[in-house]
Amino acid sequence: MEIPSNHSSKDQMRLEAVLEQMRGGAGIPGNSIKAQCERHPELVKRLEDFELQSSVRLIAALETIPDLHETTIRIEVLLHLAVACCNGSKEATVEDLSVWIQLLEQSIMATQEDPSEDVFIGYVCTAHGGFRIYQGIFSNNDFVLEQLLKFLSGKLDFPPYSDAVESILELLKLCDAIAEGLDQMRYMGGTSSNSTDIPLPSDSVIESHANAVTFDESRLEELEIDRHKLEKFVLDLESIEDWKPLPLFGSPIEQRPLVAMPGGFIIASPSSLCRAAICHAVEGASALGEWADLFFQQQGAEFFANEILNRLGIEHNPEIDLPEIPESLPPVLSFVGQFDRGK
């Protein structure tokens, strides 16, 4: 198949990559981190010369720029490649980042990106205050975490629950501090574009966003963030080779999005902070066993009582005696109502 001559060189390269996928019988690009390394050999070769921390802070800055919301997948690909391959001593600059992005614009992963389906910045309401979070490409992160925290906060007498809540709150403080430093309001939307290019802002804007995702010791103290409660979210760089075969989404970076630096952290993936909190809430609460069943039973019962019954016009009637609940019936929140009055 010949590529029409009126296509730009970038379009030709992308089309050739798609055709190569089709010839190989693969409809979807390989989604493992190892596959991404193999798919971007020139980019990998360039990244190998650079020091990790300076590279990660520049890439992470891109996740906090609303105009780049739709290019999140390629930004996360670049982040994973950097963590997997940066083992040199050269300090990365914005100029280097621009070169990496140019190589990434031709990536087959551009075909996996869709228009934004949610706001750029979500908002998590808790009993301890509200926190802005970066949604990334996953919808309803804020709602899911909000419901989990509501459930966990009612059981703080149990150490696994209280520890999980305290750690999650410290993580949310980090996320909100990034948005605060960049003057970004909750429910801010991203920008849509028909282009597959990744339009970088000015050097000064990128540097300001890179500073926003960097938390040294003095900044952590100023924000009253307990860094020890965040240790469980720090990426283990010693096990990189072990997780290269893992999928891009759901990788250790998604669950541990902090990269340690002397006295503090770099937020390697701001859009993963909320997902990391969700994973930690699930892991921490599971120590008591069957908590998931209890959580969903409570959620279902509350939705039934607060939403469905109201819409049907059913009123609570405590005078009606309920029959004895069979032993085989899962525990539910009992509710008796009367309806169809006047019919």
CA–CA separation, 237 and 245 (whole Å): 15
Q: Which two tokens stand for residue 206?
A: 């990128």
pLDDT of residue 160: 62
Q: What is the separation, in whole angstroms, between the first and last Cα of the chain?
A: 70
pLDDT of residue 291: 59
pLDDT of residue 324: 76
Q: Using the CB atoms, write b or e for 240-270: b if 16+ within 10 Å.
A: eeebbebebbebbbbbbbbbbbeebbbbbbb
Residue where the block lists tokens 């899911």? 144
Query: Would you tell me how many other CB atoms lie within 10 Å of the CB of residue 314?
Result: 16
Note whether 274 and 137 are within 8 A (CB). no
How large a percentage of the chain has pLDDT more than 70? 75
Note whether 268 and 259 are within 8 A (CB). yes
Burial class of residue 170, CB neighbours in 10 A (0-12, 13-18, 19+): buried
Full pLDDT tens readout for the chain, 343 residues: 444 444 455 555 554 554 454 444 344 456 788 888 999 999 999 999 999 999 999 999 999 999 999 899 999 999 999 999 999 999 999 999 999 999 988 888 888 887 777 889 999 988 888 999 999 888 888 888 988 888 777 766 665 677 888 999 999 999 999 999 999 999 888 776 666 788 899 999 999 999 999 999 999 999 999 999 999 999 998 888 888 888 887 889 999 999 999 999 999 999 999 999 988 887 765 655 555 566 666 666 666 666 777 777 777 666 767 677 777 765 555 555 554 444 3
Pick left, alpha or beta for residue 284 (phi over 0 → left; psi -120 to 50 → alpha; otherwise beta).
Answer: alpha
